[in-house]
Structure 1
Amino acid sequence: MSNHTKLIQEIEDYVSRRGIAETTFGRMAAGDSYFVSRLRKGGSLLVRTEERVRKFMAAPFEKKAAPPAKEPANA
């Protein structure tokens, strides 16, 4: 199993456990919404990017709550 394949599998497991989209993961972990898609297509991966992504997955996860719903102006 290649490093890319292994990392993609780990990311898939992570997003499944956390209930987040792969694009959200990419934005949060690598600063790129298309990170996972690019990996799947064989895109290159810098060592420092892989380290950053693995560090993100190892850290405690805090899913941000949705903002409160706005009340109608004439309520």
Structure 2
Amino acid sequence: MRPRVKSALLWGAVGFMSFLVLVQGYALYDGPLVSIGQGALIAFFVGLGAAASAYVLEHRVAAWSAQRALEADDGE
């Protein structure tokens, strides 16, 4: 598996689990906001969006960061 795909899938998993944690935290605080099935479905789409965003943007952000680091080194 290519590193870019693996990274995107891992970011998708982070988005999926983070949403579920937030929904559970809200349910503990104030009662259920959505049912378990609805929460899982929404979490799936959040994970899918996170994975797609990471796949599309990660290499651009890395290139931008590397360029900034080079420019900062040249300025010193």
Using the size of structure 2 for normalisation, the TM-score is: 0.32
> Which one has the bigger helix percentage?
2
Higher normalized contact order (CA 8 Å, seq sep 6+, divided by chain length): 2
Using the size of structure 1 for normalisation, the TM-score is: 0.33
Larger Rg: 2
